[in-house]
């Protein structure tokens, strides 16, 4: 069965729970090389048309740790950059590798690739969705708070790809997600999330407060306006004080201390961001096992 992971909606609640269980196991067993043969003999293409630190490294290391071969490709080294069609690229890659992981500036291109590919396609970030990030976010919340169902997560800032994926994954896991964003930056209606224009309203009683960059890849031309519009949505000690006493702070990274998050909070004791970054590895290993393991 050819299964993709493009928006995160491809997983059911039960499967998501299983995936997170396996991620916990893989994390605990990493030094004992748990899963070292899970994908033995397989290959995974990792196509990065945009910069990446965490996603690229965690996938490359993760694929290798599962016994498979990662084939890392930059967009500009494929004939795609010289006009070969997305469909033909998908058909050819499908003859070589067992899965395609792709980060692209076009969500539509990734969807088209997935339609034409004969192997599973994993979205490693598009301007609309970042579902792999959301898996690591849930894993981190589970580590810090235990049972996910019933938790309240406040996302404060730009209603972007990371926010959208959190809302989708949160809904599956029973996490109540509240998104606080200024006018013009809010997520579209239609998700099972509470949308507000007031960061304090979102943070009140939250088990976690989350933010992301104000200037995403592709938004550079609007950087100045974004920084001005989003300034009241910075996570700082004051906003954190509105959350529960045991609330943790999440950020998918890369961070801009002093911009969307104060340095005090980013590097403070309530910050779970470094575990969150590590958890990309464990969650994606569990995802790859689910998609292409035996």
When asked if residue 212 is in the footprint of ligand NVA (CB under 6 A), the reply is: yes
280 is an active site residue: yes
Q: How many residues bind ligand NVA (CB under 6 A)?
A: 9
Tell me the closest approach of the beta carbon of residue 212 to ligand NVA, in angstroms.
5
Stretch of residues binding ligand NVA (CB under 6 A), selected from 111-119, 159-167, 199-207, 234-242: 159-167
CA distance 217 to 68: 30
Q: What is the dihedral of CA 123, 125, 128, 132, to 10 degrees?
A: 70
Tell me the closest approach of the beta carbon of residue 50 to ligand CP, in angstroms.
8
CA distance 249 to 156: 11
Whether the link from the prior residue into 254 is cis, omega within 30° of 0, is yes
Spot the catalytic one: 42, 54, 103, 226: 103
When asked if residue 213 is in the footprint of ligand NVA (CB under 6 A), the reply is: yes
Q: How many residues bind ligand CP (CB under 6 A)?
A: 9
186 is an active site residue: no
When asked if residue 57 is in the footprint of ligand NVA (CB under 6 A), the reply is: no
Tell me the closest approach of the beta carbon of residue 127 to ligand CP, in angstroms.
13
Nearest residue to ligand NVA, by Cβ distance, number only: 216
42 is an active site residue: no
Would the CA dihedral through 220, 222, 228, 229 be positive or negative?
negative
**Toward ligand CP, which CB reaches closer, 97 or 132?**
132
Cα dist. 40→24, 118, 257, 268 in Å?
21, 20, 41, 41
Which one of 9, 18, 34, 52 is in contact with ligand CP (CB under 6 A)? 52
Spot the catalytic one: 4, 54, 98, 133: 133
A 10 A CB-CB count for 265 gives 23
When asked if residue 55 is in the footprint of ligand CP (CB under 6 A), the reply is: yes
**Toward ligand CP, which CB reaches closer, 161 or 262?**
161
String marking each residue 120-139 x if it binds ligand CP according to CB under 6 A? -----x-------x------
| Positions that interact with ligand NVA (CB under 6 A) | 125, 160-162, 212-213, 216-217, 252
Among all residues, which ones are annotated catalytic?
A: 103, 130, 133, 212, 252, 280
| Positions that interact with ligand CP (CB under 6 A) | 52-56, 125, 133, 252-253
């Amino acid at each position: 069965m050819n299964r993709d992971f493009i928006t995160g909606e491809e997983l059911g609640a039960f499967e998501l729970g299983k995936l997170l269980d396996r991620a916990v196991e893989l994390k605990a067993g990493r030094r004992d090389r748990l899963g070292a043969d899970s994908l033995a003999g397989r290959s995974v293409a990792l196509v990065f048309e945009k910069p990446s630190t965490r996603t690229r490294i965690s996938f490359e290391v993760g694929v290798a740790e599962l016994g498979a071969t990662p084939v890392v490709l930059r967009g500009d080294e494929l004939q795609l950059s010289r006009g070969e069609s997305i469909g033909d690229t998908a058909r050819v890659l499908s003859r070589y590798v067992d899965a395609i992981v792709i980060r692209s500036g076009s969500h539509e291109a990734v969807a088209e690739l997935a339609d034409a590919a004969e192997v599973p396609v994993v979205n490693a970030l598009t301007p609309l969705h970042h579902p792999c990030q959301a898996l690591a976010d849930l894993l981190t919340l589970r580590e810090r708070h235990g049972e996910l169902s019933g938790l309240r997560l406040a996302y404060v800032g730009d209603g972007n790809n990371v926010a959208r994926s959190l809302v989708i994954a949160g809904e599956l896991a029973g996490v109540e997600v509240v998104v606080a964003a200024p006018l013009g930056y809010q997520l579209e209606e239609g998700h099972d999330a509470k949308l507000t224009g007031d960061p304090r309203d979102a943070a009140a009683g939250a088990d976690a407060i989350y933010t992301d960059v104000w200037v995403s890849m592709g938004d550079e031309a609007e950087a100045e306006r974004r920084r001005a519009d989003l300034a009241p949505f910075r996570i700082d000690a004051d906003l954190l004080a509105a959350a529960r006493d045991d609330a943790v702070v999440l950020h998918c990274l890369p961070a801009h201390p002093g911009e969307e998050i104060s340095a005090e909070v980013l590097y403070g004791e309530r910050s779970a961001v470094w575990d969150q970054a590590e958890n990309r590895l464990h969650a994606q290993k569990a995802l790859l096992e689910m998609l292409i393991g035996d």
